Amino acid sequence: MPTPRALVRAAAVRLDDAAIDSPDHDAAELLAFVLGTSRSRLALVEEVGPEDEARFAELVERRAARVPLQHLTGAAAFRHAELAVGPGVFVPRPETELLAGWAVERAAEVARVAGRAPVVVDLCTGSGAIALSVATELPGAEVHAVELDPQAVQWAVRNLAGSGVDLREGDMAEAFPDLDGAVDVVVCNPPYIPLTAYDGVAPEARDHDPELALWSGDDGLDAIRVLERVGARLLRSGGHLGCEHADLQGETAPQVFVASGRWTDVRDHRDLAGRPRYLTARLPR
């Protein structure tokens, strides 16, 4: 019977041939999933039985066909949480963890300075990743989330169960009229891919993530324009807004907020790879 090391090595070659960005990582993750263990503990497994080997080979072929790794394992790590994901919901990316961390920090600042529970709204919540991060990392925060896609809502319901997050189904454009002028932090990872960029999008996203989570008009800014208006409606004076965008929108996305004349402290922030990744802005006091 083969060893885990031999199986992972052969699978990594197959995934590399299929142009998978992280073949060694994905091969090890898939084998660990099949064996019910973790990547770090694979070395403790001496041999892999025939049934597990066959199941692993099947998953490797599906990954080589560009099915997202997270759809195959049913889970995605995000900051300090593990989210259930699969067909019908956008798989949260590591880059978004920075935006979630920003939201946690701003909400914690409100709690410290104002001496009360901060009110946070996560628009386009998808799997619930950002809302869950705020709710679990800052107990006592009042967290609200909204998602338009009915399938994604079901995943968010599962991930946010027991978290205390107020989850609603609907369009962010009309969301939370009951919170107008009462929110401290608005955070959003909206759709932002231009329709003209279809051919350049990785198959994992283009063919498996929901269309509502990807495309946003010819320039990719349609949802961000809506967010600018919604954020101005929801936030109290001095409130904070954070929004992820594509790496090519480091100037155009912030300009949406600058051009409206409603915001101050409009800034753009880079991810760990040095690429423009999210903007922040604040309503004047």
- Supply the angle between the helices 4-17 and 23-35 in degrees, to the nearest 10: 130
Task: Please enumerate in sequence order all residues whose Cβ is within 8 A of that of 224, keeping only pairs 6 or more positions apart, or say none.
Answer: 190, 192, 216, 243, 245, 253, 256
Query: Residue 103 corresponds to which tokens in the numbers above?
Result: 């939201």
Q: Please answer whether residues 193 and 128 qualify as being in contact, where contact means their C-beta atoms are separated by less than 8 angstroms.
A: no
d(CA 201, CA 197): 7
Which residues does the annotation place in the binding site? 147, 189-192
d(CA 230, CA 227): 5
Q: DSSP 3-state assignment of 140?
A: coil
Query: Residue 254 corresponds to which tokens in the numbers above?
Result: 């912030």
Q: Please answer whether residues 155 and 146 qualify as being in contact, where contact means their C-beta atoms are separated by less than 8 angstroms.
A: no
Which residues does the annotation place in the binding site for S-adenosyl-L-methionine? 147, 189
E strand spans, the chain? 75-78, 81-84, 119-123, 142-147, 166-169, 183-188, 235-244, 264-270, 276-282
d(CA 120, CA 135): 9
Q: For residue 184, which of 247, 118, 87 has the smallest C-alpha distance?
A: 118
Which residues does the annotation place in the binding site for substrate? 189-192
Q: DSSP 3-state assignment of 217?
A: coil
> ∠ CA(135), CA(241), CA(175), 5° rounding?
70
